[in-house]
Structure 1
């Protein structure tokens, strides 16, 4: 009779490594990362802008931010983008953000 069990690695895995893999597979790490990103965005943008926007994620070094309305989108692009990007690069270099992309939230269109 053939054995259908997978071959085990020679060395046992550390519990922390196994849990990390499980969290990644279940998507729990994305929830924590998203929460941290929201906190960073709120800190950098301030309460006024953060209440009208939402950091969606980082893709290829570009922070993706959705905006509630076109007036806020124009305000961010024209007056705040440079300073927000500089603060993110300087104060949160661990995030490796090189640019910010603002887009209108499709749910509000």
Structure 2
């Protein structure tokens, strides 16, 4: 199934992707990953107008994509794509510009919040 991801594709994402992964790992080392609802995701993201959205393909790294998305479009995407009851989701990492908060979603429809602020 082809998904329509919100935002603009970042064409040369390597350094940014590496930084996102590195900062996420550092945040996870200090703070526990907390399962959250969509309402909690909205509260965590609404403070900033734009976010990075990193799609992590479950098998092929070359299919990973990085986007810069408006918060409103990003929240609509998450609300439409994630359902823990139906176990539907997509492997994503969402973070703000200073990379102080991370929302991690998985293909089972679970959403997690890691704060580093």
Instruction: State the TM-score bracket (shorter-chain normalisation).
Output: under 0.3
TM-score, with structure 1 as normaliser: 0.28
Which protein has the larger Cα radius of gyration, Structure 1 or Structure 2? 1
- Structure number with the higher strand fraction is 2
Higher helix proportion:
1
